[in-house]
Structure 1
Amino acid sequence: MKLKIHLFTLLAGTLFLVSYFLSDFLWENLWIFYLIPPLFFGFSFLGFFVMAILKKNRTGIIIGVLILGIFLSSELVNSEIFKSGKILEATLIDDQSAMRLTLRADKKFEMESSNLFSEKIYKGNYQLIDNKIIFKDKRDDNNFIPDTVSIIGDKIIIRFDKNGKPITDFARYFDIKRNKIKNAL
């Protein structure tokens, strides 16, 4: 029985980690059901890990601790602890989708684009000149967001009309939630 417990712990834990690391892929292909594999394998792993502890199966316990360590390490690395501070957060919401922009102090940005069926996160570098944000990397799939946008008041303006007036129609600007940029107009 001891041999089986640590093998099942290893198998369930490995499948949990694989489904956890592939969660974006599963989201795109399974949509709502993407949670089923990580939950199933996660609870299976925890069950076998607890059994290994109760049976005092040293190999099962070591395997369980290693898998938990890998999971917790990846969560820690992806957390806000190791990222530069947020200096601007803004959201553009329309009827069926949303885009969340985060600018960080180390001149990196994150653009989270989500709709009912998918969610993508774009990361890259930006430059700030006066009230203009110049994106140096890809911001979205369809180039809806131009490479240069302007901060005006509590909005990030995406487009201007032919007279240079900001277009602030529905879903044509980002609403700024947090702004620590000193020279924003």
Structure 2
Amino acid sequence: MANNNSNIYRIVFALIWAILFIISIFYHKELYNSYWIFGYGILLPVILIQIVLIFLNFKRNKHSFVITVISTIIGLGIVLVRDSEVFKSKVLFKAHLDGDINGLTLKFRSDETFEMISSTFMGHEESYSGNYKLEDDKIIFLDRPYDNDFVPDTLQILNDKLILNYYLNGEPDTSFGNFFQIIENHFP
């Protein structure tokens, strides 16, 4: 009887842990952006415990083992599919602005949507998205691309640069941190 109760407890624990594991994987970006300690202080131990449970349950309880393996596969599937480019439209234009301790990457897609990814040297990333329109060599953001005024609502393509600002005399400001370096340009 004690062995049967032990198996039930293992199965219940495996189910609860599987749910917590899948939730933590699914919301890892939101939690990391809000609480950066989540990335190393919580998510890493959760993944390590998941791996340990796979090995422990393999010998002790086949039902718990199956639950743990299935939740691991679901978690990996979430990680692989969530940020995949497979389900997004083709990138027509990509540019990067490299700062001292941070960077901005802009992607403009064929469905007239954009993504701006702000990243820091600590691994923190924030993503902004919206719609844009292209007029000749100007890219006009229809949605605010950033949570401050650093990136204006209109950018201009000039040779291999995406210009943010101009001097009063009309010359483009190509000093450090004032332009995006174009990586890909497939705009018509």
Verify same fold: TM over 0.5. Answer: yes
Which residue, 155, 160, 164 being the options, matches 1:149?
155
Q: Which residue of 1 aligns with 2:167?
A: 161
Read off the aligned partner of 1:140 and give its amino acid letter: Y
> Superposed, which structure 2 residues align to 1:14-163 within 5 Å?
14-28=19-33, 30-31=35-36, 34-58=39-63, 60-62=65-67, 64-66=69-71, 68-73=73-78, 75-116=80-121, 118-163=124-169
Read off the aligned partner of 2:154 and give its amino acid letter: T
Aligned residues: 182
Identity over the aligned pairs, expressed in percent?
A: 32
1:9–1:64 Cα contact (<8 Å) kept = no
**How far 1:63 sits from its partner (Å)?**
5.7
**How far 1:32 sits from its partner (Å)?**
5.6
Taking a change above 3 Å as real, the CA distance of residues 45 and 4 of structure 1, as seen in their structure-2 partners, is: farther
CA distance in 2, matches of 1:20, 1:70: 6
Secondary structure of residue in 2 paired with 1:87: strand
TM-score, scaled relative to structure 2: 0.83
TM-score, scaled relative to structure 1: 0.84
Read off the aligned partner of 1:42 and give its amino acid letter: I
Read off the aligned partner of 2:80 and give its amino acid letter: E
> Superposed, which structure 2 residues align to 1:167-178 within 5 Å?
167-178=173-184
In structure 2, runs of 5+ residues without a counterpart are: 1-5
**How far 1:144 sits from its partner (Å)?**
0.9
Question: What do residues 5-43 of structure 1 show as CA deviations (whole Å, max 9, x unaligned)?
Answer: 222222333332333233334434553662231221122
In structure 1, runs of 5+ residues without a counterpart are: none
Question: What do residues 76-118 of structure 1 show as CA deviations (whole Å, max 9, x unaligned)?
Answer: 1421111111111111112122111111111111101123464
**How far 1:74 sits from its partner (Å)?**
5.0
Q: Which residue of 1 aligns with 2:3?
A: none
**How far 1:142 sits from its partner (Å)?**
0.9
Deviates more, 1:117-126 or 1:94-103: 117-126
